[in-house]
Chain A
Amino acid sequence: MNNRKLFAFIPLALFILLGVFLWIGLSLDPRELPSKLAEEQRPVPAFQLPSLTEPNRILTPDDLKGEVALLNVWATWCPTCKEEHGFLNRLARDEGVTIYGINYKDEPGKAREWLRRYLNPYALVILDEQGSLGLDMGVYGAPETYVLDTQGAVRYRHVGAVDAEVWKTLKQVMVQVEQESAQ
């Protein structure tokens, strides 16, 4: 008889379990994709692309080594990039953060004009006109910002604008990576 009573509670237990899963599902953001590069701490994929600011110079992943830095994917057609640009300027100027840029599927003329008008927070800007580097990095929505370690490996990815709130997380990751490489 006791067993029977317990059986009667199985539907309730299943319902609660389902409810818990659905509840967790509510707080997940399906647009957030995992970055294999960051998960496996892989280096930035191989590339040989010109610099936006010095068109005769060819940049490679080696140019991104040496410092814990941010790698920011941007384009002039991307409104959110404009939104975060001021914040990136502040980071580069006031916090002394090294920021590399990837100018993603953009017109170089417009991009150079943009940097003239809104100032240039980038130590280097890789000109990825065809989007090949972006494709290899798994970029699916500009702006995206990556944290690179001193070896030029990807440690973290953020999709969307960088603001004060996001910077807290990025800074935390950068400090941690910095400590690791100091050891």
Chain B
Amino acid sequence: MIRFVQMLLLLLPLSAYATIDAYEFSNQENEKRFHELTHELRCPKCQNQNIADSDAPLATDLRREVHRMLESGESNDEIADFMVTRYGDFVLYRPRVNETTWLLWYGPFVLLGVGILVVVLISRNRRQGKVEATEKPMTGSGYKASEGLSTGEADRLNTLLQRDSDQ
């Protein structure tokens, strides 16, 4: 019985660690924006985590700053600017659209366009090839020297084809 209780006790989490700060928001809109912003800002110290998830003291400071700026009525852009001037574009999980990120934002669409173009070209080539291939025997006049063959070759090919159809 004691052993059973001990085992049950093991199931109790000893303590739950999580980044829960008690922030008061003047309205729900601010709270929503706080969650959006902290999820989109990257922690400079513990990379590959956003500042909402990170336990680093720096992330705590940054969350506090975001909260302070939100409550003092600053816009999302202003808050992003604040972060970028301190830690560079790196902190934005959603990079801004400017000259240096054009390739990043529009590159995939350009690649898609190129891909579609290639598919269209290939399929058109193929269709043309097929039409030519089906047309030739239909004419029934045999191969001519003009079709990439010398006169001797054309004659020989026609003779061979003739012989095959005779059998």
Contacts and interface: CB of A to CB of B under 8 A. Distances in A.
B93 interface: no
Contacts, number: 31
| Interface residues of chain A: helix, strand, loop or mixed (majority) | loop
B86 A30 contact: no
Interface in A28-59: 30-31, 33-36
Interface stretch (A65-73, A137-145, A146-154, A164-172): A137-145
Interface string A16-37: 0000000000000011011110
A36 B86 CA distance: 7
A36 B88 contact: yes
Interface string A100-144: 000001000000000000000000000000010001111011000
A30 B57 CA distance: 20
B119 interface: no
Counting chain A CB atoms within 10 Å of each CB, the highest count among B57, B58, B86 belongs to B86
A135 B65 contact: yes
A132 to B, nearest CB: 9
B79 to A, nearest CB: 13
B109 interface: no
6 contacts: A105-B57, A131-B61, A135-B61, A135-B65, A136-B86, A138-B87
Interface of A: 30-31, 33-36, 105, 131, 135-138, 140-141
